[in-house]
Structure 1
Amino acid sequence: MVNQWQQWLSPRPQPTPHPPGSTMRSFLGTALYEFLYEEDGRFVVKETHYANNKLVREGKSGPPLHIHVDQTEYFQVLQGALGAARGNETVRFTKDDGILVIPKGIRHRFWADSSINETNEDLVFKCWADPYPMQPGFDESFLRNFIGYMRDCTTQGIQPSIFSIALIGLSSGTLFICPPFYIPVWILKSVQYVLGDIIGRRILGYQEAYPEYCNAKTK
């Protein structure tokens, strides 16, 4: 239950229930997320970023710069071209380039790279994290809450709150308080803890997870 003074201090969207199922769409229809589980139980997300969407063509359909504290992230491109900032380098991957590895503790972001996508194909890739499962860690619940929150902020005309984003990130071991230059991870963790847990959760009443976004079965 959000108090009126909390809403006044930090406006937030009304969580919109998402239809049950194994897929979810991002804000402004830029991407489709499919939540998959391999035979060994490993969680994999398959993303399709649509080339006919203006934000995708401009490289704006991916997440902001972030760090996974304790998990290594892997990307396998199935179609199109993936651009990624990994630490101080920028890389571009297609299905012929194998697996893109983002070691734990490395700041990164990714996007659809139209500069080498001559056929204007949709970007399709699989992404997973290791080790899995891990708490807190990259999983379906984290993605549903992050995507759902950002989608509702966009559709309801509300600026996303850094306090809410920081709290959702804490629930997954993901640091969104992440500048484009080196700062020790322990400092970033401390800052995000203050913003997310102390201010976001305890003072402003934000939640790590919302049932409206996680009404489908998650593992």
Structure 2
Amino acid sequence: MLSFLARHPPRTRVVHLNKIEFDNGRSFIQFRPHEDRYLVINSLPPDEIPESPADDKPSPPNCALTPPLHWHSHQEEVFHVIEGDAIFYLEDKRQIARQGDVVTIPKQEFHTFRNASTTERLLIEFVLRPENKDRDECFFRNTQTYRDDCRNAGVPRSIFQVLMFNRRGNVVLALPGPKPVAKLAGLLMNFFGSIIGRWLLGYSYSYPEYYDKQH
């Protein structure tokens, strides 16, 4: 095992919190009771770089909660905009969602979203599949807190750790190239990246400081 090569930032204990702040308080995630329709509320700060209508690709993430372009192999995702405006990137399209709008992402469709405003926050809630709420909460708590802990510690994120979180959470990075090839490559990257991360580097799929099903 090559665990001595693994990079581990100091982990912030958030397992007991329903609301977790990131980016020095600029963003937060709040978990709903599992009987609610939606699982989480995300608050994203204003985007310092305005999204141009001419751009067909999203700007770089500006906070821990801004997802990269990705897809889900087995499930659709439903978003509800509570406050502000969001820009959704869906395959090769851009869509503006305003307060009260609901956006459904079919499974296997490349997607991400950004705050459309440079002055106002975006408050958005979403859920994948109700039967997967425990798994999804585990994913959100681990991947987003890990990212923020790495930022605070000045430690680069390990791609192998990220791929382990992604594989467990049914999240696949949207790679460039023809869609069939890109999707196969993304799945293979999750699979082999998880093997390397788990068995060679000693990373875990979840950390007790971040998630415990009993809480």
TM category, shorter: 0.7 to 0.9
**3-state SS, counterpart of residue 110 of structure 1:** strand
Matching residue within 1, 10, 26 for 2:6: 10
Contact 1:46/1:124, CA 8 A, preserved across alignment: yes
Q: Which residue of 2 aligns with 1:106?
A: 109
Partner secondary structure for residue 179 of structure 2: coil
- Partner of 2:55 in structure 1? none
Counting matched residue pairs gives 203
Q: What stretches of structure 2 of length at least 5 have no aligned partner?
A: 52-58
Cα deviation 1:107-136 (Å, max 9, x = unaligned): 111111126xxxx33211111113x2139x
* Residue among 48, 71, 77 paired with 1:73: 77
Q: CA deviation at 1:26?
A: 2.5
CA distance in 2, matches of 1:182, 1:128: 28
Residue by residue over 1:45-87, the C-alpha shift from the partner in whole angstroms, topping out at 9 and shown as x without a partner, is 1111233x75899762311111111111111111111112111
In the TM superposition, residue 13 of structure 1 has moved relative to its aligned partner by 1.3
> TM-score, with normalisation over the residues of structure 2?
0.82
Paired with 2:163 and 2:23, the residues of 1 have a C-alpha distance of 19
Query: Percent same amino acid among aligned pairs?
Result: 25
TM-score after normalising by structure 1: 0.81
Check conservation: 1:49, 1:56, Cα contact below 8 A: no
Work out which of the residue numbers 175, 180, 183 in structure 2 matches 1:179: 175
Distance 1:88 1:124 in 2: 24
Looking at structure 2, the residues matched to 201 and 112 of structure 1 have their Cα atoms a distance apart, in angstroms, of 34
State the distance in 2 between where 1:144 and 1:128 align. 14
Aligned mates of 2:32, 2:131 — CA distance in 1 = 14
**Alpha-carbon contact 2:6-2:202 (below 8 Å) kept:** no
Which 5+ residue runs of structure 1 have no aligned equivalent? none
